[in-house]
Amino acid sequence: MAIHDEDIERVRSSVSIVDVVQQYVTLRRTGRNWVGLCPFHAEKSGSFNVREETGRYKCFGCQAGGDIFTFVQEIEHVDFVSAVEKLAGRAGMTLRYTSGGEGKDRQRRKQLVAALESAVEWYHQQLLTAPEARPARDYLRQRGLAGDVARQFRLGWAPDEWDALSGHLRKEGFADDVLRDTGLAFTNRANRLQDAFRARVLFPIFTDGGEAVAFGGRILPGSTDPAKYKNSPETKVYQKSKTLYGLNWAKNDVVKADQVIVCEGYTDVIGFHRAGVPRAVATCGTAFTEEHVRVLKRFASKVVLAFDADAAGQGAAEKFYEWERKYKVEVSVARFPEGKDPGDLASSDPDALAAAIDDAMPFLGFRVNRVVSQASLRSPEDRARVATRALEVINEHPDVNVRKLYAGEVAARVGIPVADLSRQAEKRRVVETREDEIVPAVAAVPEFTAEFAAVALLLQSWDSIAPWLIEDLFANDVARRAFLALAEASESTDGTLIDNAMSLADPEVRELLERAAVADIDVEPSSVAFDLIGVAVRRALATRTRVTDAEEIRADGEARRHLEDLGSERTAQGAGTVLLGWLVERSGVSAPHD
C-alpha cells in the first residue's frame, strides 16, 4: 500500500513548510531563510534554517535536514505514510492509495486501534463515575494516582462482569473478531464472548504516536486472583519488545534532555511525572531488550535504568555493553534509597527521585561500586577477594581502556597496587567485532565557495545558471557528484528536482544538497558561473605545457586573453561563452544543461 505520487506532490506544494515548522520552532526571517533553534538538539544560537522556496530545512549544528515530510517524521516520530496523512489532514485533502484504498492491513489496523481507543475511554469513564469503582478510586488515591493524574494517564477500571466491555463495543459497531484480535475479549468454553479484564485497575498502553494498543491490569489489594498483573497479549498492533509504556507522554522531554529513564512498572513512570521528571518509560511486562534500545535511540543517546540493574547485569552485562557500542548510547543506573522505588519516592520524597537521576552512575561503575561497597575490607584476604570479584565484573567490558581505568579505581579503594590490577584488566582477551555500517567522513565543500553556490543556485533557480555549467567546472569531488545528480534528476518530469537528485545521491552528496537547499545565496548567478569558468580554464591551461599543435597553441592563447575579459561587466558574457566552449572542446564532455 502506498499513496499516489500525485497526491504526495499535491500535499508538498499545498502545505507551507514554514507554517508547519513554526508549530514546533520559533522562527525569524533572515534574508530568504527562516532561522531558529534546532528542535533536534540543544543549542543556544540558532543554526536551524528553513527555506520556503525549496521546501527544505537544514540544521548546521546537528546536520538534521530534509523536506516537510521528513520534518514531520522526525518531530512526531512517525513513518512516511503517517507523515503524509497528517499533513493532508491539516490541509483538508483526501489521499488516494495505489491499491485502490488504504490496503487491507492498514484498514484492519485502524479498526483495531479504534476499538482499543473506545475501550480506553469506556474503562476511564467507569473509573471516574461508576459507583462500583469506588474501591479502585480509593486505592489510586492512596497511591497518589487519583484526580488529574488518573485523567492525564487515562487510567481505567474493568468492572467485575463477564462481558460489560464487549457489550458496549458491540453497540459501538465493532465486530466480535475485532474484539478478539485486540485481546480485549476471548471466546469462552460456552462459546460466548468474554471480557479479558475484570475487576482490575487498567493502565492503557499507547504507541509513541499516541495510538492505543494494549492494557496492563492490576488487581486491588485483597483480591483472590493469584495474578497481580495481567497484560494484553501480543496482537497485530502490539509487540511488547517494541513498545514502551509512557513514551507517548515522555518523548518531547526525552528529546529535549537527550535522556530517557527506563522503569519496571507503570506506577514508576507516573511517579517520575509527578516528581517533575517526565522522561520515564517502562517495559511492558518483559525484560529490557535490544528492540527497546533501537526504539529509544530514535529519541535520545542516554539511557538511565531505574530498576535493579545489578540483578539484570548478572546475565545481561555483555548485552548492555554491546548495545552501548552498537547504538552509540550511554547506559547508566539510578541509585535509590534502600527499599524505595520510584513510585514510593514520588509521594514521600520527589526531590530524592530527581536527584537519583542526576547522580546516575555508568552501568559498569554501578556494578563495580556495589561489589566494593557491600564487602568487608578489614583484612588483606578481604581486600584480595573483593578485588578479584570486582575484576571479574570489570573484565566483562570490551574496551581495554575502560577496564584499566576501573581497575585503577578499585585498586585505590582496596589498597592493591594499581599497576598489578591494571595489568590483569589489560590482559583480558577480547574478540573485537566491527560493524559493516561505517559512515565515511564527509569531504565537505566549504560553504559559499563558487562550487557550493552553483549547486545551491541549481536547486533554487535552475534556469539562471544551468546553461553555464559543465562537469569540468567542479574540482571538488562531492560538488561534482552533486552536479551530476542534479543534471540527471533534471531529465525526469516526475517529482521535484531535489527529491529526484536525493534518490540518486550517495550520503556525502545528500548532505551537500541538504545544505545547499537552504543556503542564502545573494549573488548574481552569472558571476558564479564566470568565477567557475575562469578557475577551470586556468586549471586546464596549467596542464597544457607541452602542446605543439599550432592551432591548439593559438586557441590556448585566445583563452588566456579572454580570461582577462571575464573581469569586465561589458565583456564577461562573450568571454564566458568562448571559454566554456574551449573547455567543452578539450574535455570531450557534452554541452551545458539547459
* Three-class secondary structure assignment of 294-324: HHHHCCCCEEEECCCHHHHHHHHHHHHHHHH
Residue 518 forms part of a structural domain: yes
**pLDDT digits 0-9 by tens, 498-512:** 888 888 888 778 888
**pLDDT digits 0-9 by tens, 271-311:** 999 999 999 999 987 888 888 888 888 788 899 998 765 55
Same domain assignment for residues 275 and 162 = no
Same domain assignment for residues 273 and 206 = no
Task: Give the pLDDT of residue 511.
Answer: 82
Same domain assignment for residues 121 and 81 = no
Residue 593 forms part of a structural domain: no
Cα distance between residue 382 and residue 370, in whole Å: 15
244 contacts 296 by C-beta, under 8 angstroms: yes
Kindly report the number of other CB atoms within 10 A of residue 278's CB atom.
Answer: 20
DSSP state of 570: T
Instruction: Tally the domains of the chain.
Output: 5
Strand, coil or helix: what is 368?
helix
Same domain assignment for residues 200 and 115 = yes
Residue 99 forms part of a structural domain: no
Last residue of a domain, one of 91, 120, 145: 91
Same domain assignment for residues 269 and 347 = yes
Same domain assignment for residues 344 and 410 = no
Same domain assignment for residues 294 and 310 = yes
- How far is C-alpha 5 from the chain's CA centre? 25
Same domain assignment for residues 233 and 117 = yes
pLDDT at 106 over 80: no
Last residue of a domain, one of 331, 346, 366: 366
Cell matching residue 357: 537521576
Same domain assignment for residues 87 and 110 = no
Q: Round the average pLDDT of the chain to a whole number and report it.
A: 85
Report residue 379's pLDDT band, with 50, 70 and 90 as the boundaries.
confident
Task: Please report, rounded to a whole number, the percentage of residues in the chain having pLDDT higher than 90.
Answer: 31
Residue 220 forms part of a structural domain: yes
- The interaxial angle of helices 80-91 and 68-76, nearest 10 deg, is 110
Greatest pairwise CA separation for the chain in angstroms: 106
Same domain assignment for residues 53 and 110 = no
Task: Give the pLDDT of residue 327.
Answer: 78
**pLDDT digits 0-9 by tens, 202-251:** 999 999 878 999 999 999 998 888 888 899 999 999 988 889 999 999 98
Residue 438 forms part of a structural domain: no
Same domain assignment for residues 479 and 574 = yes
CATH number of the structural domain spanning residue 252:
3.40.1360.10
Residue 443 forms part of a structural domain: no
Domain that holds residue 41: 5-91
Residue 9 forms part of a structural domain: yes
Cα distance between residue 499 and residue 459, in whole Å: 10
CATH number of the structural domain spanning residue 137:
3.90.980.10
Same domain assignment for residues 490 and 552 = yes
Residue 442 forms part of a structural domain: no
**pLDDT digits 0-9 by tens, 474-501:** 988 889 999 999 988 888 767 778 888 8
Q: Cite the beta strand spans of 232-291 per DSSP E.
A: 244-245, 259-263, 280-283
